[in-house]
């Protein structure tokens, strides 16, 4: 009898074709209508029970085995980013200013391969598999929570997800128990001073000077208010103020992000930002409007399911290529699924410096070594089978 590995090897060419189609036709978060239709059409062709428009443009495919048994959920995200594709290849994005710069096209294609392979052997399954194709991972509040609210996890016992990751070389897999990806919050600070002539600064309150001090003061929160053994990042990503070389700006806007792993530190940092913004502005005679938006929580992997990963993954990658993942300051709304059911989020290497596939995620020349889809599809399939068959 053909193994699941052998069938997924046969389906690899289809995965590449699906991935390249999606790469040519990317859709932004909350706009994945055509992508979702593409996914739903395939799933229906293969006999799955399909729900569309779940939590937005989410698609849920349910496959029942020969026995009711355990139910495993496998998740892929579908949305692209507002980035112009600078690659030179025949599958380059055909949508101006939009591209798959994080691998979600490949996540979707690989999970489609798993769905097709399992649809052909559902009479051999002593359990059920739910395929979650999620919209809007890239933009908070994201697509995971709406999908959960609309029943995507109903009856699910465990969930697994994979992120293809170019900083890790193709042929390797990484996971770890406990917190693995950071909780994320965003802030916007609008500073209001008093504008005036560039040659008469004493008659003004220079919002750009205030903003400059704020950037430095915010960094002191991490260095002086957070336990140095606890990971924390505060990044000011945009600084916008002024419009002319000889005019002192009345308004300046800073935008940034906070990344933490500990909920107590997350709250402490928020309070410190509020205090530092208020006191710095007061020192210069300016005022500020601070907006703090709470984002995704920390991704916390279940210890038992991570042990399963370390038992299963060597059969796909080889003993020496399965490693413990260091904590990452990137964020993922897969965290919401893990708050509801046990599971784990896994990183599968997709970079290949020999092929010059080494651009970082969210970069205009981002690409993956497509053989990573072969690895990720086998890993997801074997994780699901191992869970269903466990006693």
Choosing from 32, 85, 105, 137, the catalytic residue is: 137
Gyration radius from the chain CA atoms: 23
User: Could you tell me how many residues make up the chain?
Assistant: 391
Choosing from 79, 138, 185, 333, the catalytic residue is: 79
| 3-class state of residue 59 by DSSP | strand
Residue 75's Cβ-side half-sphere holds a number of Cα atoms within 13 Å equal to 29
Q: Is there a catalytic annotation at residue 137?
A: yes
Question: Between the CA of residue 136 and those of 169, 289, 297, 334, 343, what are the distances in Å?
Answer: 27, 28, 16, 11, 21
Q: Is 223 exposed, middle or buried (CB count within 10 Å of its CB: 0-12, 13-18, 19+)?
A: exposed
| 3-class state of residue 17 by DSSP | helix
Other residues' Cβ atoms within 10 Å of the Cβ of residue 242 = 16
Question: Between the CA of residue 294 and those of 187, 197, 297, what are the distances in Å?
Answer: 9, 38, 9
Catalytically annotated residues: 79, 137
């Amino acid at each position: 009898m053909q193994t699941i590995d052998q069938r997924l090897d046969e389906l690899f060419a289809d995965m590449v074709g699906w991935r390249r189609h999606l790469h040519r036709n990317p859709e932004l978060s909350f706009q994945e209508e055509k992508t979702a239709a593409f996914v739903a059409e395939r799933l229906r062709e293969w006999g799955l029970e399909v729900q569309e428009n779940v939590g937005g443009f989410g698609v849920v495919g349910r496959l029942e085995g020969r026995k009711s048994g355990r139910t495993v959920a496998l998740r892929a995200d579908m949305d692209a980013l507002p980035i112009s594709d600078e690659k030179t290849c025949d599958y380059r994005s055909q949508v101006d200013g939009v591209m798959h710069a994080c691998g979600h096209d490949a996540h979707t294609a690989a999970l489609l391969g798993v769905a097709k392979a399992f649809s052909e052997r559902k009479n051999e399954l002593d359990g059920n598999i739910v395929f979650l194709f999620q919209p809007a991972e890239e933009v908070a509040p994201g697509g995971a929570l709406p999908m959960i609210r609309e029943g995507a996890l109903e009856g699910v016992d465990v969930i697994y997800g994979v992120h293809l990751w170019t900083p890790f070389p193709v042929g390797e897999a990484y996971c770890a128990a406990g917190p693995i990806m950071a909780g994320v919050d965003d802030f916007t600070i609008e500073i209001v001073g008093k504008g005036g002539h560039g040659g008469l600064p004493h008659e003004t309150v220079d919002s750009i000077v205030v903003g400059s001090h704020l950037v430095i003061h915010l960094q002191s929160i991490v260095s002086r208010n957070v336990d140095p053994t606890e990971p924390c990042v505060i990044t000011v990503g945009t600084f916008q103020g002024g419009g002319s070389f000889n005019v002192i700006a009345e308004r300046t806007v800073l935008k940034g992000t906070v990344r933490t792993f500990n909920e107590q530190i997350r709250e402490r940092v928020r309070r410190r930002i509020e205090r530092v913004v208020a006191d710095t502005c007061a020192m210069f005679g300016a005022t500020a409007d601070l907006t703090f938006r709470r984002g995704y929580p920390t991704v916390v992997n279940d210890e038992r399911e991570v042990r399963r990963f370390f038992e299963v993954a060597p059969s796909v990658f080889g003993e020496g290529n399965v490693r413990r993942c260091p904590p990452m300051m990137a964020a993922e709304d897969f965290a919401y699924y893990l708050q509801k059911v046990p599971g784990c989020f896994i990183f599968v290497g997709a970079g290949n410096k020999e092929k010059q596939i080494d651009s970082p995620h969210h970069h205009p020349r981002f690409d993956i070594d497509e053989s990573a889809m072969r690895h990720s599809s086998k890993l997801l399939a074997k994780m699901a089978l191992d869970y269903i068959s466990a006693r």
